[in-house]
Amino acid sequence: MTKKIQFTETVLRDGQQSQIATRMPTSDMLPIIQTMDDAGFHALEMWGGATFDACVRYLNEDPWQRLRQIRKIVKNTKLQMLLRGQNLLGYRHYADDVVTAFVKKSIENGIDIVRVFDALNDTRNLQTAIEATKKAGGHCQGAIAYTTSKIHTIDYFTDLAKEFQQMGADSICIKDMAGVLLPDVCYDLIRQIKETIDLPIEVHTHATGGIAEMTYLKAAEAGADIIDTCISSFSGGTSQPATESLAIALEALGFETGLDLAKLEKIAQHFNPIRDRFRKEGLLNAKVKDTEPKALIYQVPGGMLSNLLSQLKEQGLEDKYEKVLTEVPKVRADLGYPPLVTPMSQMVGTQALMNVMACVRYKMIPQEIKEYVEGKYGRSPITITPEIKQKIIGDKKPITCRPADLLEDELSKLTDEIKEYAKTEEDILLYAMFPKQGRDFLGKREDPFYDVPIQTITVTFD
């Protein structure tokens, strides 16, 4: 029996998000899309995550338009997006009507696979997105936000995968955004999920720690169906391992990948000069290609380590780095072991920093941490002790329901707010994600005088 493994190519989303802050314009993509469609990928991850934000904020592009342009060319390969559950692509919890409309329009405009995850693995935050995906005829992939802690065991993640299946997921992703998934754990996790449920499994990791190729090898051996890789031009370091290298190695090991190596070479030839251009412009920092095993040593994502260090440097407190690093796991334990992914990684990092700087723990507390303890982000992986709750929110009673249950439908209000410039439901949803940048974007498109400053004329009488 031939062993099979398929590839999802990430250069259009995670690859460029990890290495050039998602600044690749659609014009860099379009000339190579046909070749990418013919290369034999299972899917192209090309939308969602930070792509939407970057289009509107930095590139003056309509992200919906990008999706339609790519869809028009891609006939054989699935188009995949990443969705942060009830946060969609924005930075707050949206009401259910917005979530449903957003998912429906994403699929209508060309998305096949919607990969959904929640930063806390609170499945209640994924309920609406999963239902909407199924209803709109899309493939729903439930993604486990992988993390390490004493409670994040193989049984814990297997139960989560089971829950995804019961909720209607068509496949499961083990999403290791921090690049801390070890090869042996990956193997055991896939074996156990495969023994428990019968859904395709995809593995997503990052090369930051220098172990990603080994993790993918063990994933393949354990029977993973799909792995996420990035074409060599934007691979390695903070991104995924290189597509070509993995394809060659796995083929030699007897796996059928379905990939056309000559086409992969063409894709790399297209993206190499684009990478060089970003390097010259300074947008591709040499550091993103570095190997950083600290993430594995401290069990803290690489991005979080460098953020903490630069925050400390700004205040001339570099000497506190080690202290803050030992405080991070303590804060995380206090807060019920949230996965260290956005936004929790920033929140836990800031709290650890404040605890060290104030010399008294929880003397200073950011508003977001209070809201988290109040249950407004969802359920913490394990219950927070009464002592810590008391320290952070006093006698306030946390909510126990799904956070979105407290939100009134808001689509009609949003429609009304942007009716001056929005022509389509896609426009309204764009505005809903990023009110300020969205309004500016649509305003400039609809009104040539939108950002012309109004002259103030001072009339003096004397």
Site residues, Co ion (CB under 5 A): 14, 177
CA angle 411, 414, 418 (to 5 degrees): 140
Burial of 382 (0-12, 13-18, 19+ CB in 10 A): middle
Separation CA 287–CA 450 (nearest Å) = 39
Q: Closest CB to Co ion among 14 and 37?
A: 14
**Smallest gap, in angstroms, from Cβ of residue 241 to Co ion?**
12
Separation CA 265–CA 457 (nearest Å) = 61
Q: Closest CB to Co ion among 14 and 202?
A: 14
Burial readout 214-236 (b: 16 or more C-beta within 10 A, e: otherwise): ebbbbbbbbebbbbbbbbbbbbb
Measured torsion, CA atoms of residues 129, 132, 136, 138, in degrees rounded to the nearest 10 = 30
**Smallest gap, in angstroms, from Cβ of residue 233 to Co ion?**
17
Q: Closest CB to Co ion among 177 and 193?
A: 177
Q: Which residue is nearest to Co ion, using beta carbons?
A: 14
Separation CA 182–CA 215 (nearest Å) = 6
Distances (CA, A) of 125 to 92, 117, 122, 147, 200: 12, 9, 6, 18, 22
Distances (CA, A) of 284 to 16, 48, 236, 289, 303: 9, 21, 13, 9, 15
**Smallest gap, in angstroms, from Cβ of residue 451 to Co ion?**
35
Q: Closest CB to Co ion among 206 and 402?
A: 206
Backbone angles phi, psi at 201, to 5 degrees: -120, 130
Q: Closest CB to Co ion among 178 and 264?
A: 178
Distances (CA, A) of 2 to 218, 251, 257, 431: 17, 11, 10, 49
Q: Closest CB to Co ion among 230 and 348?
A: 230
**Smallest gap, in angstroms, from Cβ of residue 129 to Co ion?**
18
**Smallest gap, in angstroms, from Cβ of residue 45 to Co ion?**
9
Backbone angles phi, psi at 460, to 5 degrees: -115, 140
Q: Closest CB to Co ion among 203 and 222?
A: 203
**Smallest gap, in angstroms, from Cβ of residue 355 to Co ion?**
29
Q: DSSP letters along 321-373, please?
A: HHHHHHHHHHHHHHTT---S-TTHHHHHHHHHHHHHHHSSTTSS--HHHHHHH
**Smallest gap, in angstroms, from Cβ of residue 180 to Co ion?**
12
8 A C-beta contact, residue 355 and residue 361: yes
Q: Closest CB to Co ion among 9 and 327?
A: 9
Q: Closest CB to Co ion among 18 and 35?
A: 18
Q: Closest CB to Co ion among 14 and 225?
A: 14
> Per the structure block, which two tokens stand in for 428?
């309204």
**Smallest gap, in angstroms, from Cβ of residue 204 to Co ion?**
6
Coil, helix or strand for 23?
A: coil
8 A C-beta contact, residue 47 and residue 305: no
**Smallest gap, in angstroms, from Cβ of residue 257 to Co ion?**
21
**Smallest gap, in angstroms, from Cβ of residue 203 to Co ion?**
11
Identify which of 166, 81, 158, 159 has the alpha carbon closest to the alpha carbon of residue 117: 81
